[in-house]
Structure 1
Amino acid sequence: MSPARPLTRRSFLSHSTASAAAALTAFPFPYVQAADKTAPEFHGAVIGHGTHRYRVDKLWSQADATKVPVNNCHEMVQVRDGRLFMLTDQAKNNMLIYDKKGALLGTWTLNLGGAHGLSLVREGDKEVLWITDTKGRVLKADLEGKILLELPTAAECGAYPVGQKYAPTEATASPDGTIYVADGYGSQFVLRFDAAGKFLDKFGGKSDLAPGKFLQAHGVAIDTRTPEPLLLCTERMRNEFQWFTLDGKFVRSVYLPGAFISRPVISGEHLLAGVCFGMIPNDYRPKLNRGFVTILDKDNRVISNPGGTAPKFDDNGQVLLMMQEQAVIQHGHDVCADDQGDLYVCQWNANKVYPYKLHRV
């Protein structure tokens, strides 16, 4: 048998992409086990590293699954008054509203069977939600679920020719009102619209390794930690965060080998993301591993991986391969950081579990 070749960024990406792409469309995953609320594994365990360690609370949600079912718990945000809004693709109740203790305060729905992306945007004193349905709808709603604006599809606004695949995964808006839509399950562009919903232009597009291009433009957020705000995108298949100017020019990227990051979340000076799964390289043949949470500091250096391996670095400061270490999280799709520093993990393809809370210790 010939010896295994060394793992490099290019080889890891090129040989893991096909496996990961197939896995994203193969349901159910054979290694997923249902959460057992009578004896939940890892409930009460402490996970994480350094200054960012957390106690796992798998029983946080007090929602009754017989009355308020969920499918995939995709994303969660905290509004100014402390309430937590959680988006699910269960069309009967797309939005579950919690307090920080896990009590369910209310629900509402827009009857979206592909509800996937949720971003909170402040417009002066008003807070609005950008909700993305992978079936092609991008909606701006108030906190009561009233639709305030719906964007045209990529074909309707002329961004794509009729018939080109459009399956948006996330939308957000910059301080000047410009709207950004990531077509993460479609043609891998980021579309820009003005505040009134008029299409402006697009950037990105599909490419294996070209900077500023995507294999999967999964999530978008506005990074306000820099002197001038930047658009931050998750390139999930290439295990990267990518930054762009607000008019779409590529600035830089950070590589997180092994981590299929879902949505970028800015919390103070930190950058967080749920990891839907990692890759285990084995004799140059990657195998799938399950998820965790990753936390980066103000310099975009990994400082903690709750549920994952402790971050280690090479001599150039590049973080080394990250994998799941404790099987707390099946497939992390989002992490929400509240105003007390606690985290909430939303999962997809995890047997319809409600979010877990990670209490900071």
Structure 2
Amino acid sequence: MKTKGCGGALALIAAVVLSSPFWPSMEMSAQSAGPALNGPQFEVDPSWPKPLPERWVTGELGGVCVDANDHIFVLSRANLYPGISEIAQAAPPVMEFDQTGNVVNSWGDRQAMAEQLHGCSFDPQGNIWIAGNGDGFIQKYSRDGKLLLQIGVKGKVDSADGKLKSTFLNASPVSFYSPTQVAVDPANGDLFVSDGYGNKRVVVFDRTGKFLRQWGRQGTTAEAAAGVGGAFVNIVHCVVLGNDGLVYVCDRNGDRIQVFDKTGAFKRNIPTPIVFRAPYTGNGGAGSLAFSRDAAQKYMYIGDFSDKLIRVFDRVSGKELSQFGRPGSHQLGGIASP
């Protein structure tokens, strides 16, 4: 992948290439969905990644994150298209790529991990945290795949009967309902979990997994339009800690990033209004978030789930600067689920 301008958040940019079940096969530059303004510009590298070994084929990709060595870790689900599994092999749950696109390591036990792997992030010690839509737990692994900590129990969610498709409780101090991402506070190791597809909250634990606090509830589109903090329209889809000490949370179907301090006090909204559909429809305008890698984190890169593009914002002002990508999953620059 190649970038122009200020250094970008490699994890999210990699996700542009990797978000579909297919590896790119057509040389085509990413096209902006709107006029480029003052934000950094990106183009897809058609040589990245290199062909996967051993007839591996990815399913849906549930997350992309980058370690301190700029190695790119990709989460692959096992949901291959019908007939593919008969002639190829599902890629391992976690694949590690170097900057040139070679697979340098892979690992993961699907029986121990969530079926719908969702979101990954690294802590300052180099461990990787993985969440999972469709289950009730999060996991901490060493970068080479050793399970170090699990919060929650596989197969049991925070619902009325502990099962999926039951009424969410938004209450458990020991389990989740389809959590989507984990962010680790570098100051003290506290864990911030976006929970998720079932629950509508952010949950905080200490580094050992002890429950500390939570905030958030089911919201309405009217509340989202009015800017009410802590009310999530549907899916709490990401959580990221900024260098400014604030907590940035994707209110995906509320078409906004909600910003809190670490205690859960609401600070502000960053609206991400979708362009090609009516507000609060489709998959939502705030699907994923990453910051530029400069110390000031000048730019935010936000994946728009409805319009299928990446939008670049100035972090401080919340002003949108530029966009890139295009809908689709069969050619370079195409974005399926950013």
**TM-score, shorter chain, exceeding 0.5:** yes
Which residue of structure 1 lines up, in the alignment, with residue 61 of structure 2? Answer: 73
* Alignment RMSD (CA, Å): 3.0
Instruction: Flag the 1:167–1:296 CA change in 2: closer, same or farther, 3 A.
Output: same
Gapped regions of structure 2 (runs ≥ 5): 1-19, 79-89, 169-176, 275-283
Partner Cα separation in structure 1 for residue 100 and residue 75 of structure 2: 18
Identity of aligned residues (%): 22
CA distance in 2 between counterparts of 1:304 and 1:262 reads: 17
Q: Residue 274 in 1 paired to residue 303 in 2?
A: yes
Counterparts of 2:265 and 2:46, CA distance in 1: 41
Corresponding pairs, count: 265
Determine if the alignment matches structure 1 residue 297 to structure 2 residue 322.
no
Structure 1 residue 121: deviation in Å? 1.4
Alpha-carbon deviations, 1:96-140, whole Å to 9, x = none? 111112111121113132111101111xxx211110012222001
SS in 2 for 1:237: helix
CA contact (8 A) 1:155 1:162 kept: no
- Equivalents in 2 of 1:153, 1:301: separation in Å? 41
Q: Which residue of 2 aligns with 1:115?
A: 117
C-alpha distance in structure 2 between counterparts of 1:92 and 1:103, whole Å: 14
State the 4+ residue runs in structure 1 displaced beyond 4 angstroms.
32-36, 45-48, 153-157, 159-162
Q: How does 1:339-350 map to 2 (within 5 A)?
A: none
Q: 1:66–1:262: structure 2 CA closer, same or farther, 3 Å change rule?
A: farther
Q: Which moved more, 1:242-251 or 1:147-156?
A: 147-156
Rounded Cα–Cα distance in structure 1 between residues aligned with 2:252 and 2:53: 30
Number of the residue aligned with 1:288: none
CA distance in 2, matches of 1:59, 1:302: 30
CA contact (8 A) 2:39 2:312 kept: no
Give secondary structure in 1 for the equivalent of 2:231.
Answer: coil
The question of whether the paired residues in 1 share the 8 Å contact of 2:202 and 2:215 is answered with yes
**Is 2:178 the partner of 1:189?**
no
Matched, 1:179 2:191: yes
* TM-score, normalised with respect to structure 2: 0.70
Q: Report the Cα offset of residue 80 of structure 1.
A: 1.6
Counting only pairs closer than 5 Å after superposition, residues 236-251 of structure 1 correspond to structure 2 as 236-251=252-267
Does 1:87 find its partner at 2:75? yes
Contact 1:192–1:199 (8 Å) recurs in 2 = yes
Distance change >3 Å, CA 63–CA 247, structure 1 → 2:
farther
**How many Å separate the matches in 2 of 1:140 and 1:84?**
17
Report the alpha carbon displacement of residue 145 of structure 1 after superposing the two structures with TM. 1.0
Q: Is residue 118–residue 130 contact of structure 1 (8 Å, CA) maintained in 2?
A: yes
Q: CA deviation at 1:67?
A: 2.6
Task: Tell me whether 1:235 sits opposite 2:237 in the alignment.
Answer: no
Q: Is the 8 A contact 1:154 1:160 kept in 2?
A: no
- Partners of 1:155 and 1:202 in 2: CA distance: 22
Q: Residue 218 of structure 1 aligns with which residue?
A: 237
Q: What TM-score comes out, normalization by structure 1 length? A: 0.66
Q: Render the CA deviation track for 1:207-241: whole Å, top value 9, x for unaligned.
A: 112321102210001011x2xx0111011101101
Could you tell me whether the CA contact under 8 Å between 1:180 and 1:220 is conserved in 2?
yes
